[in-house]
Amino acid sequence: KVLQAATANEAAVREQHHQLDETVVSLRSLMPPEEELPSVIEFLSDLATQTQVKIQTIFPQRSLVDSADKHTTQAAEPVVYKEIPIQIDAQATYHQLGTFLSLVESGAKPMQLSSLRISGNSKDPRWHNVKMVILAYFAVEEKS
């Protein structure tokens, strides 16, 4: 009975599959390819300069998903995007940091704050030491 019901709705299922494929393609086009990681880091550096956040170090971290999934079967679920954590160590005031994070999360590039640690700066109480991880999302090439 299940097979009969599925074959009776085959046209509707095919149309739904086609619509989902189109949605995935359009969403994938909004994300930069992974090769643009250096330009995303440069974009974050430019935002920091614009908001007067003083970056001390900025670098991509190895994705936990990458190292775990390399040894598992890849046929389980198709991968549409890849998230790459970018660690930033900086100094900023609260207002500068808030403006920076607002620009990061409202920008055209898909990114979000993953973790944030703020500690006091003993040399200047107005400034704070900031450690944050920003997740940047990249399109994964579709394999035929």
pLDDT tens-digit series, residues 89-133: 999 999 999 999 999 988 888 899 999 999 998 888 899 999 999
Tokens read off for 27: 């969403």
Q: 129, exposed or middle or buried, with CB in 10 Å at 0-12, 13-18, 19+?
A: middle
Q: 18, exposed or middle or buried, with CB in 10 Å at 0-12, 13-18, 19+?
A: exposed
User: Which stretches within 31-143 are classed as H helix?
Assistant: 37-51, 64-69, 94-106
Q: 17, exposed or middle or buried, with CB in 10 Å at 0-12, 13-18, 19+?
A: exposed
Read off φ and ψ for residue 64, nearest 5 degrees: -65, -35
What per-residue confidence (pLDDT) applies to 144? 46
CB–CB of 112/135 below 8 Å?
yes
pLDDT digits (tens, 9 = 90+) for 68-99: 555 454 555 667 788 999 999 999 999 999 99
Tokens read off for 118: 């703020």
pLDDT digits (tens, 9 = 90+) for 38-54: 999 999 999 999 999 99
pLDDT category at 65 given cuts 50, 70, 90 is low
Q: CA-CA distances (angstroms) from residue 99 to 47, 52, 90?
A: 9, 10, 14
The number of angstroms, rounded, from the C-alpha of 55 to the middle of its chain's C-alpha atoms is 20
